[in-house]
Structure 1
Amino acid sequence: MKNYIFLYITLVAIFSFKGYPQNSKFYVTDKISDKYAYVDVIKTYERVAEKGYKSVDLFKKIGDSYFFNTELEKAAEWYCELFAMNTNDLEPEYYHQYATSLKFIGQHDKANEILEKLKQKSKVIAKTKNQK
């Protein structure tokens, strides 16, 4: 009989404490969100660029943010800025992302031109690897 009472008390204790930590986590999360403000990083980067600061890294970040959030019109705009600065040292994925965003906004000729540059660049990379 004592074993059944002990088992019953143990089970009640386990099931009553099971929900407790979940409620406290929500409470902590609510308190943390009151202390910190949300910062829109894309808008901050855009303001920095509008003030005249230009860098390859900045344009990559803005373009990637819009590209991966499927706002391809804005991505094309920022990739255009990126390619206007420098096209020699860019990774191949930027050529592809720029061409994809250009095709989305209807500039197929320019997109094909960018893809042609990507083909030429990949041929040069392949030649340098073969020479080593």
Structure 2
Amino acid sequence: MKIYIFFIAIMSIFSFKGHAQNSKLYVTDKINDKYAYVDVIKTYERVAEKGYKSVDLFKKLGDSYYQNADLDKAAKWYCELFAMNTKDLEPEYYYQYAISLKYIGQNETANEILLKLKQKSEAIAEIKIRKQR
């Protein structure tokens, strides 16, 4: 009798779990039918082309194109970013901008950016050493 009750309990657990998974798939399918996806990169580009300028906007545009290996467009937006602000940017933006510039054939400008990256990295390392003392 105990085996029979144990068997029924196990079967009940598996049947509820299987039912829950099916309903989640159904809900997901319904959501896909109701909502449209927005191309965020295109929206950011339209905003930038209308004249809005922001460090955050240009970072997002540059990063999006850099990660999608569209380096000529990434260089365009990193150029806008560096035209606005170069003092407070993280070192990764110097590197990504330099790589994008090299891709479009602007090697001299890319080398200048890499030199600035090296100087910035040395300054950061020096500050960290001072803090440790």
TM-score, normalised to structure 1, is: 0.82
Cross-structure match for 1:42: 41
Where do residues 105-124 of structure 1 align in structure 2 (5 Å cutoff)?
Answer: 105-124=104-123
Q: Please, which runs of 5 or more residues in structure 1 have no aligned partner? A: none
Where do residues 79-90 of structure 1 align in structure 2 (5 Å cutoff)?
Answer: 79-90=78-89
Q: Which shows bigger deviation, 87-96 or 56-65?
A: 87-96
Q: Which shows bigger deviation, 13-22 or 57-66?
A: 13-22
The CA distance in 2 between the partners of 1:17 and 1:123, in whole Å, is 60
Cα deviation for residue 127 of structure 1 reads: 5.5
Residues 87 and 13 (structure 1 numbering): CA distance in 2 closer, same or farther, change over 3 Å? same
Residues 22 and 109 (structure 1 numbering): CA distance in 2 closer, same or farther, change over 3 Å? same
Cross-structure match for 1:96: 95
Residues 3 and 86 (structure 1 numbering): CA distance in 2 closer, same or farther, change over 3 Å? closer
TM-score, normalised to structure 2, is: 0.82
Percent sequence identity is 73
| Matched residue SS, 1:39 | coil
Residues 5 and 49 (structure 1 numbering): CA distance in 2 closer, same or farther, change over 3 Å? same
Residues 5 and 59 (structure 1 numbering): CA distance in 2 closer, same or farther, change over 3 Å? same
| Number of equivalences | 131
Cα deviation for residue 53 of structure 1 reads: 1.1
Q: Please, which runs of 5 or more residues in structure 2 have no aligned partner? A: none
The CA distance in 2 between the partners of 1:47 and 1:8, in whole Å, is 62
Where do residues 1-132 of structure 1 align in structure 2 (5 Å cutoff)?
Answer: 2-125=1-124
The CA distance in 1 between the partners of 2:53 and 2:119, in whole Å, is 27
Cα-to-partner distance string for 1:41-97 (whole Å, 9 max, x where unaligned): 111000001111112221111101111222222111110111122222222211011
The CA distance in 1 between the partners of 2:128 and 2:21, in whole Å, is 55
